[in-house]
Each structure stands twice: as structure tokens, then as C-alpha cells.
Amino acid sequence: MAKTSAVAGREVWGIVLLALINLLLFADQNLMAPNLTQIARDLGLSDLERDVKLGGDISLVFFVLGGAVTLVIGYLTDRLSRKKLFTLVVLIGALPCFLTGFARNYAQLFWLRALTGIGIGGVIPLTYSLIGDYFKPGSRPVAVASVSVAQGLGIVVGQMIAGFVGPELGWRLPFMLVAAPNFAFVAVFFLTVREPRRGATEDSLKELIESGRAYTGKIDFSLYREIFGIKTNVLAFLQGIPGCVPWGVFMIFLNDYFAQDKGMSVEMATLVVMAAGAATLVGNLGGGFIGNYLYKKRPRRLALLCALTTSLGVIPTALMLNYPAQPVALLPLFLIAMLSGLLISVTGPNIYAMVLNVNLPETRGSIFSIFNLVDALGKGFGPVIISALILSFGRVRAFNIANLFWLLCGLLLLLTVFTFEKDEARLKEKLEARAREMRGSA
């Protein structure tokens, strides 16, 4: 019992540090949004350049370059010490974030944001690979939800810091404030967190690995073909692209939209967006617990939950985007924003848990690097698509069109209802074969 408690304690400590580090890294993602206009004025950009260069081009390089580089990080995740690699990647993300506070022109801002994106993207395959070997399949939705809540909280905290510190003390200081603590947290992580054994939480492998047998699975490029042969993987990849277009409205434009187009103060606009952001935390964590419950009843119900909540999220988001301008009745707007954030955030932790549950332990870093690249393509090109829509239709129509992309996302998630259980069963067969191989090699 004492040994079991000690192991559980190490897992909890590991997930706490992973959550804290992810929180601060993800706080960086939305630091520009509340102060887009201030940044544009400071760097000598017009309103059109604000939307295209700051809202579009920087978002593109931030997410897409970071996503592309993390393909390499994902492969290394499945071959090297994840603890050491995680420490290095966090530093790659934190240092340019801190230095963004010293950017003096658009070119410097552009490249510092690109480097920060590499670090943020790189922690994703590492984080979820570690979770996969810390927790059993039935516990992964809650574990993933815990990190997802931290990531969502980071976005909210970053939004709050930028929205309240930026107007008074300038847009640069928030970048320094969210980056500095991670230098200390990642040092604590490196010194205190254990490296988990691959496959140790799988039912068919657990006893063998605890008895001292080594897990024999190794990543190689031939396994990448198998990754794309898993239908749930492909659907998870595909849904991420349209799903990220409306997220681009939330992440990049919504705060400035309420301030500039709806006549609110930057602070009040920040509070509205924070209300939606706070609701995403509830949606992430609550969605994880509901997902855990539904998974144990029948796994396909987890997939159905994702499809329904994503599709229904279109309704309150449309109401929020088309809410009347000043004078604004704030309480209904806050409630609508919270309902929107609640519904659209349920899918995140559950789709990640589904991906963990259909892929081999030696491919999880690689699968999440690919997942992150597809997600990055959506996040990067999403604002570019929105910028193009703005040029053609104006902000209001562009944002409403972007909102409809969640319906396509919901349709693709609905298809996972018919693939998830079959793919999970195939994984169990592979792991049982791997267990027989390990026994035979003893």
C-alpha cells in the first residue's frame, strides 16, 4: 500500500508540474489579442495591417512553424528521455516569449513569436506521451482534462494580464510576466519528476514491466503508415482544421472586436472574453469527468459527446457575435459567452484521450506531434482565412462564417462514433501480442 501511495504521489506531482508549465506557456498564446491596436500603433501599422499582419501573418508563423518543427520533437519523444527533452523545449518557448517585451519593430516581433511557437508546440507531444504512461486508459480523460484546464486557464490568465496590465503599463510587460516563472518551474521539473516506463499503464503489459521486463516497442518510420491507417486518428486530424477557424476568432480577434466594433472599453471587452474563457475551464474539466463516465459505460458515447457539444456550440457563439452594440446589456452577454465557452471546450480533452487510447505507447509522441501540426495548420491558417473573409465581407459577416466551421468539425467527430471502439479493440490485440513477445523473450 505504501509503495502504491508513493507511486500515486509521484504521478500527482508530475501532473501538477506539467499543468503549471503548460499554463504559463499557453498564457503566451493570447497576449497580443487585447492590445492588437496598441501594438499596431506602437509599431507604426495601419488598421488593415493590424488585422492582416498581427492577426494573420504572425498567427500563421506562430502555429504552423511551431507545428512543423514539433514533428521532429514528436519523433524524438518516442526515442529519447522525455524529461530532458521537455526541459529543453520549455526553455525554447520561454526565452523568446520573455524577449518579445524588447521587440522594437514588426520583424523582431514576427521572429520572436515564431520561436515561441516552436516551444509551445513542442511541449504538446511530450506532455501527452507522459500522461499516457502515467495513467491507465480509463483515467486518461480526467488526466488530460487537468492539463487542458491548465492550458485554458493559461489563456485566460494571459488574456487578463494583457487586458489589464497592457493598457496601463504597455503591451510589452505581459510577455515578461508570463515567461519568467517557467525558468524556475522547469528546473524543479527536471530535478524532481521521474521518467515513466513506456507501456507501464497498459493492462496487458503492466505486470510484465513491473517484474522488470523491458517494453520492446520502438518507433520507426514504418509505424507512421499505421498511424494513418487508424480511422479515429484521421478523423481527429481532419476535425482539427475546421475546428480551429472559429477558435481563431476567439483567440485573435474577439477582444479587439468587442472593443473597436461594439464600443466597449478594452477592460470590459477583456472581461467578456474572460467569461467565455473561464467557462472553457469548466467545460474542459467537467467534460473530462463526463467523458470518463461515458467511456466506462460504452466508449463510443465519449465520441458522441464530442460531436454534440461542438455542433451545439455554434448557437451561443452566433448570439454572442451578433449581440447589439452599445448600450450593451452585459449580464445576458456574459451568460451567452459562458455558454459558448462551455460547449466548445468539451471536445478538447476527450479527443486527446481518444487518440491516446487507440495508439501504441511508442507512437504517442509522434501521433501528438502530427496532431499538433494539423491543429497548428488550422490555428495558423484560420486567422489568415478570417483576415481574407474580413477583406471581403467585413468583420461581422466574416466572424459569422467562421463560426459555421464548427458544424463541419461536429460532423467529422460524429464519424468517430463508428470508429473509436473498433480502433481501441485493435490496439488491445496489438498490446496482447506485444506482451506474448515479451514473455517469449524472457
Q: 231 pLDDT band (50/70/90 cuts)?
A: very high
Torsions phi, psi for 214 (to 5 deg): -90, 140
pLDDT reported for residue 442:
53
Radius of gyration of the chain (CA): 21
Higher pLDDT, 414 or 390: 414
How is residue 84 written as a grid cell?
A: 530532458
For residues 130 and 3, the model is more confident at 130
SS3 string, 19-78, reads HHHHHHHHHCCCCCHHHHHHHHHHCCCCHHHHHHHHHHHHHHHHHHHHHHHHHHHHHHHC
Q: Which is the CATH superfamily of the domain at 8-196+220-440?
A: MFS general substrate transporter like domains (1.20.1250.20)
Per-residue pLDDT at 367:
81
How would residue 310 be classed by pLDDT, with cut points 50, 70 and 90? very high
pLDDT cut 90: percent of the chain above it: 26
- Using pLDDT thresholds of 50, 70 and 90, give the confidence band for residue 1: very low
What is the structure's pLDDT at 7? 46
Mean pLDDT, to the nearest integer, of 350-375?
A: 83
**Average pLDDT of the segment spanning 355-371:** 83
Domain coordinates of the chain in residue numbers?
A: 8-196+220-440
Between 289 and 203, whose confidence is greater?
289
Instruction: Locate 61 and state its grid cell.
Output: 508563423
pLDDT in tens, 63-74: 777 777 778 888
Q: Which pLDDT belongs to residue 2?
A: 42
